[in-house]
Amino acid sequence: MTELLSDTGRKTMLDPLCKAGWQIEADRDAISKTYQFADFTEAFAFMTRAALWAEKWNHHPEWTNVYKTVHVTLTTHDVGGLSALDAKLARKLDQLVT
C-alpha cells in the first residue's frame, strides 16, 4: 500500500536525493530535477529507459523534454504527495544517467 512519506522517511530518503541535485518543490509535495544531455538523442534515450522502469513499477514521472534537456517532477498522485515510490524512481533515474 502506497502512503505518504513519514517525517523519518523524508529525512532518510530525500536528504540523499537533495544532495544528488533533486529539489523539493515549494508549492507542492513533489521533487524535481533537470537533466542535461549531449544532444536530443541522448535525452530521448534516457526517457525511453526511464519509461520502461516507470511502467514496470506503475509509477510515472511528470516530465518535459526540450531538445537536450529533460525536466522531471515526481510525486504520487494516488496519495497526493511524496511516497517511497518517488524516492525509488528518483534513484533509478539517477542510475540511468551514470
Ligand X SMILES: C[C@H](O)[C@H](O)[C@H]1CNC2=NC(N)=NC(=O)C2=N1
What residue ranges bind ligand X (CB under 6 A)? 58-60, 76-78
Q: Which residue in the shown chain puts its C-beta closest to ligand X?
A: 78
Contact 20, 70 (CB under 8 A): no
Q: How many residues does the chain have?
A: 98
Task: Give the Cα-Cα-Cα angle 73, 65, 80 (nearest 5 degrees).
Answer: 20
Nearer to ligand X, 33 or 59 (CB): 59
Nearer to ligand X, 58 or 98 (CB): 58
- Beta strands 69-74 and 62-66 are antiparallel
Q: How far is the CB of 54 from ligand X (least distance, A)?
A: 7
Q: How far is the CB of 51 from ligand X (least distance, A)?
A: 12
Nearer to ligand X, 21 or 80 (CB): 80
With CA atoms as reference, report the closest residue to 75 among 33, 20, 16: 33
